């Protein structure tokens, strides 16, 4: 949806998405470019579960960044639906930024991913992003850039630009924005100035809770966690200068044994997650928060179409 504000001559606008293997730094880079935390990050694979739009508005352009789940070999119906979401996004954007982490070699997973993009009937412009540049030496980066360049001939593609970047240190983040914007068509702004995402607040809150729940869990549990916000609103009996936001949320897992892990000994793990999530939500929304967090079991929800539809997948 375009805004009613007139845009200056030569104004560029459009959509870009980051792709890459799980944990390639896509969400961290999205947050760094937007300048606000809109996408959750974790070392766990498949952290991103749905499409998140981050908005970068400058006097000369508006870039809408679409953060997608990492493409992976699906083991569940949820995994299949997430992969479909990724492919659908590719066909709708102007530019794809392929995240190839500098601390890992360009491998078969990267080659497969780029070859899938190369096979698109209408291929967006491609930019290679050598993410996590702060973790490697100059020599290692040179080898990495040579490997990235080698994909052009091997897969019959063309990189419009190749940019080393570190979202953590901030190195070359502005350069990535400049490069992506230079490849957008001229057009009007899609969102009002000052807006950083079109994500509903409830979704952002649920994702922040899930990010806190992901820390410290291992094996299959990360994939089994989903969060729903049942109710959210300002407490009515509070004075205007001392607001309190009440949030009632469910942390959903697939098995009773997982419920025990999430609650912890005498509720210690759940208290930890609740405390960290409350602080993060309060920082995001600028309001003190009361968080009521319960753990529920939905048996095998990742494989059940009824549960997936109910949970918004």
Q: Enumerate the known binding-site residues for GTP.
A: 20-27, 67-71, 131-134
Helix 201-214 and helix 268-285: axis angle, to 10°? 140
Residues in the chain: 313
CA dihedral 202, 205, 209, 211 (to 10 degrees): 110
The binding site consists of 20-27, 67-71, 131-134
40 DSSP 8-state letter: -
What phi, psi does 58 have (nearest 5°)? -125, 170
Q: Classify burial at 135, counting beta carbons within 10 Å of its beta carbon; exposed 0-12, middle 13-18, buried 19 or more.
A: middle
Rounded CA-CA distance 173/71 in Å is: 24
Rounded CA-CA distance 109/79 in Å is: 16
Helix 268-285 and helix 256-263: axis angle, to 10°? 70
232 DSSP 8-state letter: E
Residue-wise DSSP of 62-125 = EEEEEE-PPP----SHHHHHHHHHHHHHHTT-SEEEEE--TTS---HHHHHHHHHHHT-SSPPE
Q: Which two tokens stand for residue 291?
A: 């968080």
Rounded CA-CA distance 271/253 in Å is: 17
């Amino acid at each position: 949806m375009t805004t009613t504000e007139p845009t200056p001559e030569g104004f560029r606008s459009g959509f870009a998405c980051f792709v890459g293997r799980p944990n390639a730094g896509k969400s961290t880079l999205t947050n760094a470019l937007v300048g606000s935390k809109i996408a959750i990050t974790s070392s766990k694979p498949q952290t991103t579960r749905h499409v998140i739009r981050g908005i970068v508005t400058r006097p000369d352009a508006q870039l809408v960044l679409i953060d997608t789940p990492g493409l992976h070999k699906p083991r569940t119906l949820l995994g299949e639906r997430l992969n479909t979401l990724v492919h659908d996004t590719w066909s709708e954007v102007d530019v794809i930024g392929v995240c190839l982490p500098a601390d890992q070699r360009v491998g078969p997973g990267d080659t497969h991913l780029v070859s899938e993009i190369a096979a698109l009937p209408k291929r967006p412009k491609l930019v290679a992003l050598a993410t996590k540049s702060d973790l490697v030496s100059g020599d290692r980066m040179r080898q990495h850039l040579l490997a990235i360049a080698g994909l052009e001939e091997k897969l019959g593609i063309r990189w419009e630009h190749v940019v080393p970047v570190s979202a953590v240190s901030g190195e070359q983040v502005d350069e990535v924005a400049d490069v992506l914007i230079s490849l957008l068509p001229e057009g009007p702004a899609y969102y009002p100035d000052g807006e950083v995402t079109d994500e509903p607040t409830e979704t952002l809150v649920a994702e922040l809770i899930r990010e806190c729940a992901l820390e410290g869990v291992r094996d299959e549990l990360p994939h089994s966690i989903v969060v729903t916000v049942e109710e959210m609103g300002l407490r009515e009996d509070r004075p205007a200068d001392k607001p309190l936001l009440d949030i009632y949320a469910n942390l959903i897992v697939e098995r009773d044994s997982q419920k025990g892990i999430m609650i912890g000994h005498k509720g210690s793990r759940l208290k930890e997650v609740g405390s960290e999530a409350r602080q993060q939500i309060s920082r995001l929304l600028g309001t003190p928060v009361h968080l009521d967090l319960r753990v529920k079991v939905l048996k095998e929800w990742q494989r059940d179409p009824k549960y997936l539809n109910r949970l918004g997948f």
